A and B are shown apart, each in its own frame.
Chain A
Amino acid sequence: MSVGIEVSQFNAWYGSNHALHDINLHIPANQATALIGPSGCGKSTFVRCINRMHETNPIARATGTIRIGDLDIYSDVSPVEVRRRIGMVFQRPNPFPTMSIYDNVASGLRLNGFRNRRVLDEVVERSLKHAALFDEVKDDLKKKSGASLSGGQQQRLCIARALAVDPEVLLMDEPASALDPVSTAKIEDLIFQLKSQYTIVIVTHNMQQAARVAERTGFFLNGRLVEFDSTHKIFTNPGDKRTEDYITGRFG
């Protein structure tokens, strides 16, 4: 079961830099939601606030509320608990270099003290299949390091690793920006399949990508959410002049 995300009056800072201004939005369950906008507009900061990675930076702080289902993630639970329920895939593939493919996928469970071999085997296989990587690596699961895979395979490995802890929400911060077009297409296919089970938030610089994978799209500019609507509406008939300028390539 996945859940929606309710954000209200959310603000975030890095030191004295006010990075996010009064963000309000509802991200629906079991859909992919794309966040677009020029570099430095706050979209990455925003997804990092959804799983409380933002606060791992010592000068960062945030106010406002974010609810996942009926759970207020900034007051009801610890950040560690939040991150177990909200998986994240980063811009650059970041498999653990000292671990095998198998250990990478199992790491989330193992590092939280889970040891049952039989269940781990099942979870690893299921997660790798979910991430459309299993057939490519099934003969080397425990032999090869995660770092020995190609960039696109590494990113799917990171997706499998995030799925293995069974999150409700999957955050993806420009997951395909470091990949070639073939690998990018594979990641997009994957997003399509995964959204039946997870709520997906994807940050992207690639507007075609947003149009291809997401039901809803939000446009960020200078730390503000300018417009949030169905992807179709944003790309065909945006309500705000700034959104139109951005998607037609007049700036950014």
Chain B
Amino acid sequence: MALPQKSRKANYAWRMFANHMATGLAVLSTILVVAPLIAIFVYLLYKGASSLNLAFFTKTPAPVGESGGGMANAIVGSGILLALSSLLGVPVGIGAGIYLSEFGRGGKLANFVRFTADVLNGVPSIVMGISIYSLIVLPQKHFSALSGGVALGVMMIPTITRTTEEMLLMVPNAIREAALGLGVPNWRSVLSISLKTASPGVITGCMLAFARVAGETAPLLFTAFGNQFWSANINQPIAALPLQIYVYALSPYDEWHRLAWAGALVLILLIVISVSLVRYVTTRGVLKGAS
């Protein structure tokens, strides 16, 4: 189809214009995604970096009226809470995702589990805190790190379950058939072939869930409760960075405000460091040309 010379030129100009518009919009969207993160980070550095010193990482909070002190117990407490929650959330979440994709595919139970996971994902975190409060804290009659870990762990499950399922569904069936055709038992094929092939995506899902609950405050208010002192006992109330930030930010003291900013900065840095670390460790062995 030969267009007249003039309209061909106009057509070309229009296509160039449309192309630049589309590229421009994509770049703009990218900036809008990255900008808030950078803005938050710069603001935290500006507000919090000056209060970061050795004492912040080594000392417990100072009593009211005294200056100095740090958040060492809250940093360790957050670590313990996140370890507990990952211990619960990661295996249960991945297990349920495997069930949805590899065993229950299309079944009634699978549809019910999927629906439940989606609803659980939408449960406000404060509701999760109250539920765990009445399920664990009330019967035990005391706040505890354990109950906080359970609250965060339950919040991790739906995200991990759904990403695990989606990632496993992307593993081509030909790969599963190859394993079964070699005389590999089904359970072994699921773990060593399907899950391994899907593992980069599954790990991303776990990291998303981890990073999300790392900053949660509401579910910890009625469970981990917070603690001004050292505690590594999972049956006792425990400090956590988000709780400490919350308490300090609401206080009337300027120094506590500065410590709250520093706490927020440390919290974000810890999340970034742990996510990068996991990504580094899990992608180390990837081969040339692996898809």
Q: Name the contact of B181 in the complex, choosing from A53, A144, A148 (C-beta under 8 A).
A: A53
Q: Contacts A111-B189, A143-B288, A148-B288: A94 and B174 contacting too (C-beta < 8 A)?
A: yes
Q: Name the contact of A145 in the complex, choosing from B181, B185, B199, B291 (C-beta under 8 A).
A: B291
Does B4 have its Cβ within 8 Å of any Cβ on chain A? no
Segment touching A, from B42-50, B78-86, B161-169, B190-198: B190-198
Does B182 have its Cβ within 8 Å of any Cβ on chain A? yes
Contact B174–A80 (Cβ < 8 Å): no
Complex: chain B residue closest to A101, CB-CB: B287
Q: Contacts A56-B177, A96-B197, A111-B189: A145 and B287 contacting too (C-beta < 8 A)?
A: yes
Q: Contacts A84-B183, A108-B183, A111-B189: A96 and B178 contacting too (C-beta < 8 A)?
A: yes
Does A246 have its Cβ within 8 Å of any Cβ on chain B? no
Q: Name the contact of B193 in the complex, choosing from A81, A96, A158 (C-beta under 8 A).
A: A96
Q: Mark A63-101, 1 if CB is under 8 A from B, else 0.
A: 000000000000000001111110110101011111110
Q: Contacts A51-B181, A81-B183, A83-B181: A97 and B175 contacting too (C-beta < 8 A)?
A: yes
Q: Mark A31-67, 1 if CB is under 8 A from B, else 0.
A: 0000000000000000000010100100000000000
Q: Mark B197-209, 1 if CB is under 8 A from A, else 0.
A: 1010000000000
Contact B181–A111 (Cβ < 8 Å): no
Q: What separation, in Å, do the CA atoms of A56 and B188 have in the docked complex?
A: 15
Contact B179–A97 (Cβ < 8 Å): no
CB-CB contacts below 8 Å: B218-276 with A: none
Main secondary structure of the interface of B (DSSP, over half): helix
What's the minimum C-beta distance from A58 to chain B, rounded to whole angstroms? Answer: 9
Q: Contacts A147-B290, A147-B291, A162-B181: A111 and B192 contacting too (C-beta < 8 A)?
A: yes
- Chain A residues with CB under 8 A of B193: 96, 111
Q: Name the contact of B287 in the complex, choosing from A51, A83, A100 (C-beta under 8 A).
A: A100
Contact A108–B175 (Cβ < 8 Å): no
Contact A158–B178 (Cβ < 8 Å): yes
Contact A112–B183 (Cβ < 8 Å): yes
Interface size on A, residues (CB 8 A): 35
Contact A145–B290 (Cβ < 8 Å): yes
Does B36 have its Cβ within 8 Å of any Cβ on chain A? no
Could you list 19 A-B pairs, sorted by A, with CB under 8 Å? Answer: A53-B180, A80-B183, A87-B182, A94-B178, A96-B175, A97-B290, A98-B196, A98-B290, A107-B184, A108-B183, A140-B288, A143-B288, A144-B289, A145-B288, A147-B289, A147-B290, A161-B178, A162-B182, A165-B183
A80-B184, A99-B287 given; name 13 further pairs at CB < 8 Å. A56-B180, A80-B185, A82-B183, A90-B181, A94-B177, A97-B197, A108-B183, A111-B179, A144-B288, A147-B290, A148-B288, A162-B182, A165-B183
Residues of A within 8 A of B (CB): 51, 53, 56, 80-85, 87-88, 90, 92, 94-100, 107-108, 111-112, 140, 143-145, 147-149, 158, 161-162, 165
Residues of B within 8 A of A (CB): 172, 174-175, 177-185, 188-189, 192-193, 196-197, 199, 287-291
A-B pairs with the 7 shortest C-beta distances? A148-B289, A84-B183, A145-B290, A108-B182, A94-B174, A83-B183, A88-B181
